[in-house]
Amino acid sequence: MNTSVLHFPQIQHILKEEFLQYVWKFRKFDTSDLRTTLGDSVEVITPGLHNLDSGPDFFNGAVRIGDQQWAGNIEVHILSSLWYAHEHQDDPAYDNVVLHVVWLYDRPVFRRDNTEIPTIELQNRVPALAISNYQRLYSGMHRWIPCEADFSGVDDFIYKNWLDALFIERMEQRTDRYVKVLHKLKNDWEALLFRELCVSFGTRVNKDSFISIADSVDFSLVRKLARENGQLEVMLLGQALLLEDDSRDEGYLKFRNDYLFLKRKFRLNNSGVILPKFFRLRPNNFPTIRLSQLADLYEKRPRLFSDILDAETLEEYYKLFDATVSTYWEQHFTFGKEHKSKSKPISAKFKDHLLINVVMPLKFYYLREMGSSNDEELLSLAERLPPEKNRIISNFERLGRRTGNMLESQGLLQLKNEYCTKKRCLRCRIGNEVLGK
Averaged over 281-292, what is the pLDDT? 97
Burial class (CB in 10 A: 0-12, 13-18, 19+), 358: buried
CB-based contacts of 380, cutoff 8 Å, min separation 6:
none
- Out of 10-14, 369-373, 396-400, the most confident range is 396-400
Whether the Cβ atoms of residue 362 and residue 199 lie closer than 8 Å to each other:
no
Whether the Cβ atoms of residue 300 and residue 232 lie closer than 8 Å to each other:
no
Closest CA to 55 of 95, 19, 22, 8: 95
Closest CA to 292 of 231, 353, 247: 231
How many C-beta atoms lie closer than 10 Å to residue 180's C-beta? 9
Closest CA to 239 of 255, 250, 227, 251: 255
pLDDT-based confidence at 7, cuts 50/70/90? Answer: very low
In one-letter notation, the amino acid at residue 318 is Y
pLDDT, averaged across the chain: 92
pLDDT-based confidence at 6, cuts 50/70/90? Answer: very low
Closest CA to 226 of 289, 308, 300: 300
Using the CB atoms, write b or e for 313-350: b if 16+ within 10 Å. Answer: ebeebbebbebbbbebbeebbbbeeeeeeeebebeeeb
371 or 286, greater pLDDT? 286
pLDDT of 383 over the 80 cut: yes
CB-based contacts of 91, cutoff 8 Å, min separation 6:
none
Averaged over 21-43, what is the pLDDT? 94
Averaged over 138-153, what is the pLDDT? 85
365 or 135, greater pLDDT? 365
pLDDT reported for residue 397? 95
pLDDT reported for residue 20? 93
Q: What is the pLDDT of residues 168-225, one digit of tens each?
A: 999 999 999 899 999 999 999 999 999 999 999 999 999 999 999 999 999 999 999 9
pLDDT of 437 over the 80 cut: no
How many C-beta atoms lie closer than 10 Å to residue 188's C-beta? 17
* All structural domains of the chain with their residue ranges: 8-128, 173-383
pLDDT-based confidence at 8, cuts 50/70/90? Answer: very low
pLDDT of 345 over the 80 cut: yes
Integer Cα distance of 83 and 284 in angstroms: 60
Phi-psi region of 371 (alpha: psi -120 to 50; beta: other; left: phi over 0): left
Q: Is 253 helix (H, G, I), strand (E, B) or coil?
A: helix
Q: What is the pLDDT of residues 232-249, one digit of tens each?
A: 999 999 999 999 988 889
- Out of 49-53, 112-116, 274-278, the most confident range is 274-278
